[in-house]
């Protein structure tokens, strides 16, 4: 299976983060780049990198210190 990747696409599976990308799954919000095993197992992506306001899924913002969670501290 050959997958065409752009210069900005990830090269490692977005579900397991270990194997090279071998499959593309088209979803309503775009596409998931997965290894063959994760694609066949229908595994979800682990995180969404750089949605509108940063990196989601890496940590719960309530567990971060205010300086890390937001440079200006908590606003509320």
28 and 57 in a single domain? The answer is: no
CB 46 within 8 A of CB 15: yes
61 and 31 in a single domain? The answer is: no
pLDDT classification of 54: cutoffs 50, 70, 90: low
CB 22 within 8 A of CB 50: no
The pLDDT assigned to 4 comes to 83
18 and 35 in a single domain? The answer is: yes
53 and 40 in a single domain? The answer is: no
- Counting every residue, how long is the chain? 76
4 and 17 in a single domain? The answer is: yes
Q: pLDDT at residue 52 above 60?
A: no
pLDDT tens, residue by residue, 4-51? 888 888 899 999 989 999 999 998 888 899 999 999 999 988 876 655
Range of the domain at 63: 47-76
The pLDDT assigned to 33 comes to 93
What's the pTM value of the predicted model, to 2 decimals?
A: 0.59
The pLDDT assigned to 69 comes to 47
């Amino acid at each position: 299976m050959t997958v065409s990747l752009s210069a900005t696409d990830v090269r490692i599976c977005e579900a397991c983060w270990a194997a090279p990308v071998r499959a593309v799954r088209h979803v309503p919000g775009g596409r998931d780049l997965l290894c063959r095993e994760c694609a066949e197992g229908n595994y979800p992506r682990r995180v969404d990198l750089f949605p509108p306001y940063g990196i989601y899924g890496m940590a719960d913002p309530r567990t971060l210190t205010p300086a890390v969670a937001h440079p200006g501290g908590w606003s509320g």
